[in-house]
């Protein structure tokens, strides 16, 4: 049997996509509006899926209150209303693309839920642009 429970969350954050070793012109050509030197924001929508075995005593796969708290501590508190480039250490030298943000969220949550669960991270940067990350193969 395979069953996945999901918890949704969202956060608003600012970012700029650029490479320090590229000129402003090249950054603008490659990253477009997301390379605005003055930063800009997105309303990120997050869905975290947790797959595993159902606990026979409780009927829960994972207590969603616990998952809610993990997402709050690992994602909402550090990312919401933040400038990702300046205020989240990993993005000082890593472009905060939706791909890299999803991987960072995965790593943070995976560390907390432990080996008994597989997780998936679905992250929307806009209503039409999103990624799904299920971990390294």
Mind telling me the catalytic residues? 34, 81, 125
The whole-angstrom separation of Cα 126 and Cα 62 is: 29
Identify which of residues 72 and 86 has a Cβ nearer to Ni ion in the complex.
86
Say how many residues touch Ni ion, by CB under 5 A: 1
Binding Ni ion by CB under 5 A: which of 9, 14, 34, 123? Answer: 34
Closest CA to 41 of 81, 94, 71: 81
100: its two tokens: 């890299």
What whole-number distance in Å separates Cα of residue 134 and Cα of residue 103?
A: 9
Is the CB of 18 or the CB of 117 nearer to Ni ion?
Answer: 18
C-beta closer to Ni ion: residue 33 or 56 = 33
Is position 98 an interface residue for Ni ion (rule: CB under 5 A)?
A: no
CB of 22 to Ni ion, least distance (A): 17
The owner of tokens 């994602």 is 75
């Amino acid at each position: 049997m395979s069953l996945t429970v999901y918890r949704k969350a969202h956060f608003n954050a600012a970012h700029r996509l650029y490479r320090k070793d590229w000129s402003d012109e090249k950054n603008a050509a490659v990253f477009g509006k997301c390379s605005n030197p003055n930063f800009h924001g997105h309303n990120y929508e997050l869905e975290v899926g947790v797959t595993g075995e159902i606990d026979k005593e409780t009927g829960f796969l994972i207590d969603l209150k616990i998952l809610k708290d993990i997402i709050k501590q690992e994602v909402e508190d550090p990312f919401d209303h933040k400038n990702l480039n300046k205020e989240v250490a990993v993005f000082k030298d890593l472009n905060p693309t939706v791909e890299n943000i999803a991987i960072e969220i995965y790593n943070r949550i995976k560390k907390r839920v432990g080996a008994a669960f597989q997780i998936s991270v679905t992250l929307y940067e806009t209503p039409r642009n999103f990624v799904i990350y299920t971990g390294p193969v």
